[in-house]
């Protein structure tokens, strides 16, 4: 941590102490580890433009921007090296267990309970975000809501939302709303091609597959009245081996179809074997795999991560994708996107239930930010002032205008919110469906092995059953050895 007082300030402070004059405010630098992408770049720019410290001193926010592919490794290496470089960290929620147990992330529970402003902010955050971004040991949304008060008694809180993210549907309005394509789709499938936002609200996975099949066209064929210069594909979603780039999408299918992952909130009774590889989970994974045939060939190579999907869509090679809201801004930029003026957004598809409703349960994205344990009291207090500034309604609305999102329910309820960015309405609808993956220190071992097995199924080496059997066996042994399962 770089907390500094200039030589002049130090001398002045000493003199003030001798004369009884007021002590001058302390100047503080906060170094924050952050992934390098628009939501964090905007935070830095807006901080430099607008932040005024309540303590009267000068606060510098020194953001260490790290590329996404190496973000976890760089942060982990810094923390475990003992260099104590960072005072705040933008962290994935799954890292909480490893870095809390390692002694690196600061427990903010007492600070929240003793500070009316922090307490009010926590009470205004969407409960799905509090569950995923803040609690360790992990507490589900249902467990927090059952407590009847916020903060919930007996729960430890660590983080606040820096950027809450959900995945939504990006689609080509010019082809989905083309009269000829709409008529042909209706003639072939007996149902409407989703054009409006309301159409996407009524789109389930069955229709998603129909869209994929319908818009799969070869070079030279016609699409929306124009001859294609290249092959075209109807749909795409995450199917990448790296980090969590298939798990995040597979989990949605599993949860929506009545399956589950190992549930740490029910430890030590919760099991992996018989749950992770249940019939419902296997059927859900098979359903996920069945849509890969309608996607660009890269989908079956293990390389189709969230950035590849985004790029294919911006190149005009895919009709509709499911991707994170945080990747939306480049799609609207004419410098980077051929479809900047042709795109619209809707909720992600889901599973149709017996009553006709659609279950859109999905894996939450985005990141909280946390404080580290080696900070002085002055730095902790100022870092929490930065949290309050970032989560103030004024800053949250400004961040949203510039590609961010808010986790505060009062901000999302603002009449202007849905119109600030074209995906906001879908984000607000999707956030209520969000759950999270594991938070225990062993999460990375679990995730890495699971991604490898999922990739084998995605690339056609093994079946969904074989993949989930392997995952369940690995997790059962790991969790039993770690004392998480009786």
Q: What's the pLDDT tens digit per position in 335-374?
A: 999 999 999 999 999 999 999 999 999 999 999 999 999 9
Q: Cα separations (Å) of 286 from 90, 262, 292, 353, 453? A: 34, 19, 10, 18, 14
CA–centroid distance for 434 within its chain: 10
Q: What is the pLDDT of residue 7?
A: 33
Given a contact cutoff of 8 angstroms between Cβ atoms, the answer to whether 241 and 250 are in contact is: no
> Over the stretch 313-330, which tens digit does the pLDDT of each residue have?
999 999 999 999 999 999
What secondary structure letter does DSSP report for 297?
G
Q: Under CATH, what is the fold of the domain 167-363?
A: D-Maltodextrin-Binding Protein; domain 2 (3.40.190)
CATH fold of 7-158+367-435 reads D-Maltodextrin-Binding Protein; domain 2 (3.40.190)
Q: 149-172, pLDDT tens digit by residue? A: 999 999 999 999 999 999 999 999
Total length of the chain:
486
Q: What is the dihedral of CA 132, 138, 144, 149, to 10 degrees?
A: -100
Strands 318-324 and 233-236: parallel
Task: Cite the DSSP H helix spans in 367-442.
Answer: 377-390, 393-401, 409-412, 417-420, 424-431
Q: Look at the alpha carbons of 268, 269, 273, 275 in this order and tell me if their dihedral is positive or negative.
A: negative
pLDDT on residue 69: 83
Q: How far apart (Å, rounded) are the C-alpha atoms in residues 298 and 324?
A: 19
For 16-36, what is each residue's pLDDT tens digit? 343 344 445 789 999 999 999
- Average pLDDT in the 469-478 region? 99
Q: Is residue 4 scored above 90 in pLDDT?
A: no
Tell me what pLDDT residue 18 has: 39
CA atoms of 237 and 129, how far apart (whole Å):
23
Using the structure block, give the residue that is written with the tokens 């003992």: 82
**Which of 297, 300, 274 lies closest to 289, judged by CA?**
300
What confidence score (pLDDT) does residue 6 get? 32
Specify the pLDDT at position 9.
Answer: 34
How far apart are the C-alpha atoms of 418 and 148, rounded to whole Å?
29
Q: How confident is the model over 1-29, as a mean pLDDT? A: 47
d(CA 446, CA 453): 11
Fold agreement (7-158+367-435, 167-363): yes
Per 3-state DSSP, the chain is made up of helix, strand and coil in percentages (nearest 5) of: 45, 15, 35
Q: 3-state class of 257 per DSSP?
A: coil
HSE (side-chain half, CA atoms, 13 Å) at 233: 20
- The per-residue pLDDT for range 210-245, each reduced to its tens digit, is 999 999 999 999 999 999 999 999 999 999 999 999
Domain boundary assignment for the chain: 7-158+367-435, 167-363
- Spatial CB neighbours of 180, under 8 Å, sequence gap ≥ 6: 224, 225
Q: Which residues pair with 88 in a beta bridge?
A: 32, 371
Average pLDDT over residues 384-392: 99
pLDDT at 2 over 60: no
């Amino acid at each position: 941590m770089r907390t500094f007082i200039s030589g002049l300030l130090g001398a002045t402070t000493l003199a003030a102490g001798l004369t009884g004059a007021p002590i001058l405010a302390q100047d503080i630098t906060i170094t924050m580890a952050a992934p390098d992408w628009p939501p964090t770049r905007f935070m830095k720019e807006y901080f430099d433009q607008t932040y005024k410290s309540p303590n009267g001193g000068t606060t510098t926010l020194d953001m260490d921007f790290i590329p996404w592919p190496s973000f976890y490794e760089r942060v982990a290496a810094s923390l475990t090296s003992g260099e104590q470089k960072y005072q705040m960290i933008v962290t994935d929620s799954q890292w909480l267990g490893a870095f809390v147990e390692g002694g690196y992330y600061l427990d903010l529970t007492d600070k929240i309970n003793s500070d009316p402003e922090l307490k009010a902010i926590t009470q205004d955050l969407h409960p799905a975000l509090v569950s995923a971004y803040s609690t360790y040991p992990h507490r589900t949304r249902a467990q927090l809501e059952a407590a009847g008060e916020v903060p919930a008694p007996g729960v430890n809180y660590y983080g606040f939302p820096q950027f809450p993210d959900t995945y939504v549907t990006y689609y080509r309005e010019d082809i989905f709303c083309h009269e000829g394509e709409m008529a042909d789709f209706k003639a072939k499938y007996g149902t409407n091609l989703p054009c409006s936002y309301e159409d996407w609200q009524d789109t389930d996975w069955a229709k998603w597959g129909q869209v994929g099949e319908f818009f799969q066209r070869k070079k030279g064929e016609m699409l929306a009245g124009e001859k294609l210069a290249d092959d075209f594909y109807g749909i795409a979603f995450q199917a990448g081996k790296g980090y969590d780039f298939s798990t995040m999408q597979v989990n949605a299918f599993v949860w929506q179809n009545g399956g589950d992952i190992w549930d740490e909130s029910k430890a030590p009774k919760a099991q992996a074997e018989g749950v992770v590889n249940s019939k419902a989970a296997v059927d859900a994974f098979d359903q996920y795999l069945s849509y890969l045939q309608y996607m660009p060939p890269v989908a079956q190579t293990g390389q189709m991560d969230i950035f590849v999907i985004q790029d294919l869509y911006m190149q005009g090679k895919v009709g509709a994708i499911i991707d994170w809201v945080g990747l939306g801004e480049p799609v609207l930029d004419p410098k980077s996107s051929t479809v900047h003026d042709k795109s619209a957004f809707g909720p992600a598809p889901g599973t149709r239930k017996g009553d006709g409703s659609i279950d859109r349960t999905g894996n939450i994205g985005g990141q909280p930010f946390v404080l580290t344990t080696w900070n002085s009291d002055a730095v902790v207090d100022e870092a929490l002032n930065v949290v309050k500034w970032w989560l103030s309604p004024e800053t949250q609305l400004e961040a949203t205008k510039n590609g961010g999102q808010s986790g505060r329910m009062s901000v999302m309820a603002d009449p202007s919110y849905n119109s600030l960015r074209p995906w906001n309405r879908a984000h607000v609808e999707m956030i209520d469906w969000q759950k999270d993956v594991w938070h225990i220190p062993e999460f990375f071992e679990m995730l890495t092995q699971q991604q490898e097995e999922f990739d084998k199924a995605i690339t056609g080496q093994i079946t969904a059953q074989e993949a989930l059997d392997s995952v369940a066996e690995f997790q059962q042994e790991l969790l039993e050895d770690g004392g998480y399962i009786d």
